[in-house]
Structures are given as structure tokens and as C-alpha cells.
Amino acid sequence: INSVGIMSNDYITYPSDNFNNMKKFSKKNNFSFPYLIDETQEIARLYNAQCTPDFFGFDRDMILKYRGRLDDSGLEFHKDAKRELFISMKAISENNDIPYNNPSIGCSIKWKNNGK
């Protein structure tokens, strides 16, 4: 199972979301996957992303199988949260039924020009 993170927020209007800050965030949180920037927001639009984070899980044929959240902790982290993304991606990799597909939870995407 491979992963990639993509940041699509308008970092001009919201400088705290600029790529340098995102690289610091990635390093601070020990991301072990590539963390990319969607400067044009084309990728976010293509996937109809709604919030950050918004997780998309694909099978080996690049068919979307999971759309949801990281875990069931909601807006406040708790250490015993069900790891919905991990469990679902493991199921996808084993060609099993996907146990979760709950809506993503997070802040709305900061779109350029006041919207899509």
C-alpha cells in the first residue's frame, strides 16, 4: 500500500498553508510519504475533495474503493480511535469487503477566487 499527501488550499490568501509550512508540518509529524502541493487546485476539483483531510483509497487497478476519514476520532483526537483508513486499505489490498466509508471530517478546502 502506497500513500501520497496533496495539499490543495489557497496558500496565497492563507499563507499559513504555504508549501514551506507544509514541509515543516510533514517533518514535525514524521510523514513517511510524499507530500505534494496542488497549486492549481485541479486535483482537488478532479476528486471533488471537500475538506482537509479527505482520504481516497484506490485498488491496484486505480479504482476508487474508499472515500472517508483517517479514523473515528472526529474533530478531536483520541488514542483509541478506530483506524478506518488503515483497516479499509488493508481490506482493499486483500480484496476483501471494505468495512468503512464514513464522510471525511475536517476544515473546508480554502478555494481560490471564493469557490470552485
* pLDDT tens string 43-85: 999 999 999 899 999 999 999 999 999 898 877 778 889 999 9
**CB burial class (10 A; 0-12, 13-18, 19+) of residue 65?**
middle
**Chain mean pLDDT for the chain:** 90
* For residues 20-38, average pLDDT: 92
Please say whether the beta carbons of 9 and 3 come within 8 A: no
The pLDDT > 70 percentage for the chain reads 97
Going 12 to 48 to 57 to 106, the CA torsion angle's sign is: positive
Buried b (16+ CB within 10 A) or exposed e, 25-46: ebeeeeeeeebebbeebeebee
pLDDT of residue 78: 82
Taking 80 as the threshold, does the pLDDT of residue 106 lie above it? yes
pLDDT value of residue 103: 85
The pLDDT, as a whole number, for residue 114 is 57
Please give the Cα distance from 15 to 79 (Å, whole number).
Answer: 31
3-state secondary structure of 3: coil
pTM score, whole prediction: 0.83
Q: How confident is the model at residue 115, as a pLDDT?
A: 55
DSSP helix/strand/coil, 48: coil
